[in-house]
Amino acid sequence: MTEVADTARADAAAAAIRHHYDIGNDFYHLWLDESLSYSCAMPESPSDTLESAQQRKLRHHLGAVGADQAESVLDIGCGWGAVLARGSREHSVPRMVGLTLSDEQAAYVRALALRGVEVRTQSWVHFEPASRFDGIISIGAFEHFARPDDPPAAKIAVYREFFTRCRDWLTTDGTLSLQTIAYGNMRRDQASAFMQQEIFPDADLPTLAEITAAAEGLFEIATLTDDRLDYAWTCERWARRLREHRAEAVELVGAQTVARYERYLKLSALGFRMGKLGLLRIVARPYPDTFFRSPR
């Protein structure tokens, strides 16, 4: 990609992220768990609590990158800082960097005053670290990298650029832990116009084939699971909490916005249950050719 194309894509992604995430932290506080984890949890059973399932998800990703021994961890798409907070407080990672495109989220994380944590309102496209990381975690950001008008080859090129940068940013024995929604048995042209236009504008999901093609020769995949039913469970728990706090939510953001979110959560849960959508959790490590590379 050219620098101009990179910038245009990053600007479009930032506008789309702010459309969704800058609606207000107080609104999300009503129906997310205490850590404000806005991504698929890892429930052990249908009766699990949202809080414990989200903490299990955080442990999974931090464990995958060896946070207990890591000197530095990068979180691409850090949200409200759940990974950063647990990495700093529970694993004592000396250096953690979080990237987000949401001003609201960045301000929230900075207010936590986490030791060793830096948060940047910046796209991975423009990120230039001074040194490498022992681990990179990216949860729920990959879905925003491609646009609905990108042909498949262009999507793969964007994803390959992401994987190339991650490889260059990791130490020789570093690990990438990636979590992303993906198309399942649904084609791209069957995607909901409501979701693409009103919920996550200017974003398009990957397919597993596009991800593997983009990572080929750069990363070897250690583990890969499709935990779509975990996300159906998560969306259903979010929808229940939003219903329980509907009056407060309407007061904060208005009835129309609440109705839009209720529809979005219902459609999402149904899509995961039916296999139209997948939830991929991938742990990958760079192929051992990193000794002659320098940080980008």
Q: What is the pLDDT of residues 66-87, one digit of tens each?
A: 999 999 999 999 999 999 999 9
- Residue 158 to residue 139: CA distance in whole angstroms: 17
pLDDT for 57: 98
- Residue 79 to residue 38: CA distance in whole angstroms: 7
Structure confidence by residue, pLDDT tens digits, 169-203: 999 999 999 999 999 998 766 666 655 666 666 77
Average pLDDT of the chain, as a whole number: 90
Phi, psi of 170 (to 5 degrees): -90, 150
- Residue 4 to residue 277: CA distance in whole angstroms: 32
Any idea where the domains of the chain sit in the sequence? 3-286
Q: Is pLDDT above 50 for 286? A: yes
- Residue 224 to residue 284: CA distance in whole angstroms: 9
Give the pLDDT mean for 100-122.
95
Q: Hey, what are 240's tokens? A: 């229940």
Domain 3-286 in this protein, CATH class: alpha beta
Residue with tokens 């990957």: 206
Distances (CA, A) of 99 to 76, 109, 188, 243: 5, 11, 28, 31
Sheet containing 219-226: which strands, arranged edge to edge?
117-121, 95-100, 72-76, 133-139, 170-183, 277-286, 219-226
Cβ atoms of 123 and 14 within 8 Å: the answer is yes
Structure confidence by residue, pLDDT tens digits, 244-272: 999 999 999 999 999 999 999 999 999 99
- Residue 132 to residue 74: CA distance in whole angstroms: 9
Give the pLDDT mean for 207-234.
97
- Residue 137 to residue 124: CA distance in whole angstroms: 12
Q: Is pLDDT above 50 for 4? A: no
End-to-end CA separation in angstroms for the chain: 15
pLDDT for 23: 76
Structure confidence by residue, pLDDT tens digits, 219-229: 999 999 999 99
Neighbours of 292 (CB within 10 A): 5
